[in-house]
Amino acid sequence: MQTAEPSVTVSRLQSGVRRAEPMVWLSAGAVVLALMVLLGLLTLLASRGFPHFWPQPLIQLQSAEGNPQIQLGVILDRELDTKETLHRVLLHRGAEDYYDSPLLWIDEGRVTDRKVPESAVVIERKNQGPVFGFLQALETKKHSQALTGLSPLAQIARVETALSEGLPGAGGLLQLRLASGRVIEVSLEDLRTVYAPNAMTARDKIAHFFAAMGRFLGDSPRQGNSQGGVFPAILGTVILVILMALIVSPVGVLAAIYLQEYAYRGPVTRLVRIAVNNLAGVPSVVYGVFGLGFFVYAIGGSLDALLFEDRLPTPTLGSPGLLWSALTMALLTLPVVIVSTEEGLARVPTSLREGSLALGATRAETLWNVVLPAASPAILTGLILAIARATGEVAPLLLVGVAKYAPGLPVSGEFPYLHLDRQFMHLGFSVYDLGFQSTHIETVEGLVFATALLLVLIALLLNIAAVLLRSRLRNAFKPQEAV
């Protein structure tokens, strides 16, 4: 029997390996599927978002019907008409203040002439949407320049020269002829940029692409967030996540330490753990309602009565703001941090605690110098999950601090530098606002995908930073775990 025991052990081990193989392959397949879904999502967002920054060609269509019969714009979509016999195109004509609607469906079967004029230009304005047309003249108080006989590049060079010489301060005007023949005037003070997409070379288009991306990342929004950049939303999102992490980390870790290390393991402790696990499944909008009632009205209103009585009835802290949003998101992600930290503390070997106590360390010293460093990777895992959830949440923020357009940034050069009482902008809310509140969704579709891609990338960057920190801590305390 002694000689048969090793073969029996090996047989059981081989049997266990064979039984585990399907689970190994299933786990590997799940990881591959998750990576494919992530890459597919990024590819979809990039393929639909990057064309927003690429200069699209301006098409001039002349149809047998309609008034005016000549239209100039960018083709956004193409589909079959109601009879399913002819295709029709959706033309973005721009200039919402000069047309009844910037969008127009045109039957391709009734188009008598189709051109791609090199002299057609796009004028992007600071206060309104883009205008498509043909440059006619540049007028200032000093002189007037005709632009009709020049090439598109020469026309744009004249305009850029006028801008660099400071002529907008002298009341400069740019005359532009629309496709309908109407001549309009655009103030140089309102002019943001002008370019001729049909006359651009490949190098010019690439340069325009990166310049447009730079303006998107660094500028403030305008015209109901449908134009301009998203810098205030980027700043608001990052500051909110950082504040949330600073609040939820110590509170969640301390709660987990008490439950795992000090609390009596009885029915009360089990009920507390059940309650914490159930809180993770509460809809996020419920946290927003709680934050509005408790943080904003109860705590904020009480602080206003104590500290800012002279400003009442105008609220200071008793209105939605950055601080209450961070506290609400911290409460939302608190269960994740508690559960992850508890699991990390439970995995620390008992021998480490006993060895530290045997060497004369107190229980608090053992916890601080031995247990917490060994459990730090699990703590950071909980923080990573909290950051991932908080970055994309929008529903609670609608009630406790986010704004469609915030007049001021949450940080400034004025004391106290970080203004916790201010409302802020958020990338997630910008996606929601553009996608569901825009009058003409087709004109901002590319901006929606670009903003969503930026939100996903910011979440990935924050998570990657936390993962790298977790890896460094895990390697730093690996010798202690081995002891």
Q: What is the pTM of this model?
A: 0.84
Q: How confident is the model at residue 482 (pLDDT cuts 50, 70, 90)?
A: very low
What are the tens digits of pLDDT across the range 212-222? Answer: 999 999 888 88
Question: What residues form DSSP beta bridges with 114?
Answer: 61
Average pLDDT over residues 294-304: 90
pLDDT higher than 90, residue 449: yes
CA distance 271 to 260: 14
Which residues are CB-neighbours of 190 under 8 A, at least 6 positions away?
125, 126, 127, 128
CA distance 317 to 211: 40
CA distance 329 to 390: 6
> Which of 46-55, 272-281, 355-364 is the most confident on average?
46-55
Q: Which of 393, 392, 395, 386 is nearest to 285 (CA)?
A: 395
CA distance 455 to 424: 16
Q: What percent of the chain has pLDDT over 90?
A: 28
pLDDT higher than 90, residue 207: yes
Residue with tokens 């159930």: 278
pLDDT of residue 247: 94
Q: Token pair for residue 227?
A: 């134009």
Q: Is 305 exposed, middle or buried (0-12, 13-18, 19+ CB in 10 A)?
A: exposed
Q: Which of 94, 154, 147, 145 is nearest to 124 (CA)?
A: 94
Q: How many CB atoms lie within 10 A of CB 11?
A: 10
> Which of the two residues, 465 and 118, has the higher pLDDT score?
118
Residue with tokens 């079967």: 109
CA distances for 36 relative to 44, 46, 99, 449, 473, angstroms? 12, 15, 44, 19, 29
pLDDT higher than 70, residue 149: yes
What are the tens digits of pLDDT across the range 165-182? Answer: 765 445 678 889 988 888
CA distance 416 to 420: 9
What are the tens digits of pLDDT across the range 39-82? Answer: 999 999 999 999 999 999 999 988 876 666 788 999 988 887 66
Q: How confident is the model at residue 481 (pLDDT cuts 50, 70, 90)?
A: very low
Average pLDDT over residues 408-431: 87
CA distances for 296 relative to 291, 304, 313, angstroms? 6, 10, 15
> Which of the two residues, 143 and 53, has the higher pLDDT score?
53
Q: How many CB atoms lie within 10 A of CB 73?
A: 26
Question: What residues form DSSP beta bridges with 425?
Answer: none
Q: What is the DSSP letter of 298?
A: I
Residue with tokens 């494919």: 36
| DSSP characters over 359-418 | TT--HHHHIIIIIHHHHHHHHHHHHHHHHHHHHH--TTHHHHTB-SS-SS-SB-SSTTSB
- What's the first-to-final CA gap in the chain, in angstroms? 37
Type of residue found at 396: P
Peptide bond into 313 cis (omega under 30): yes
pLDDT of residue 480: 47
Q: How many CB atoms lie within 10 A of CB 432?
A: 18
| DSSP characters over 71-119 | EEEEEEEEEE-TTSSSEEEEEE-B-TTTSS-SEEEEEGGGEEEEE--TT
Q: 378 and 337 in contact (C-beta within 8 Å)?
A: no
Q: 463 and 382 in contact (C-beta within 8 Å)?
A: no
Q: Which of 53, 49, 124 is nearest to 427 (CA)?
A: 49
Q: How confident is the model at residue 378 (pLDDT cuts 50, 70, 90)?
A: confident
Average pLDDT over residues 377-405: 87
DSSP reduced 3-state for 61: strand
Q: What percent of the chain has pLDDT over 70?
A: 90
Average confidence score pLDDT of the chain: 84
CA distance 151 to 200: 12
Q: Token pair for residue 383?
A: 């923080």
Which residues are CB-neighbours of 68 under 8 A, at least 6 positions away?
179, 180, 181
Average pLDDT over residues 411-420: 85
CA distance 7 to 241: 57
pLDDT of residue 244: 93
| DSSP characters over 265-294 | -SHHHHHHHHHHHHHTTS-HHHHHHHIIII
Q: How confident is the model at residue 452 (pLDDT cuts 50, 70, 90)?
A: very high
Average pLDDT over residues 391-415: 87
Half-sphere exposure of 174 (CA within 13 A, CB side): 30
Average pLDDT over residues 218-242: 87
pLDDT of residue 80: 73
Strand pairing report for 111-115 and 59-63: antiparallel
> Which of the two residues, 352 and 225, has the higher pLDDT score?
352
Question: What residues form DSSP beta bridges with 203?
Answer: none
pLDDT of residue 187: 86
Question: What residues form DSSP beta bridges with 79?
Answer: 88
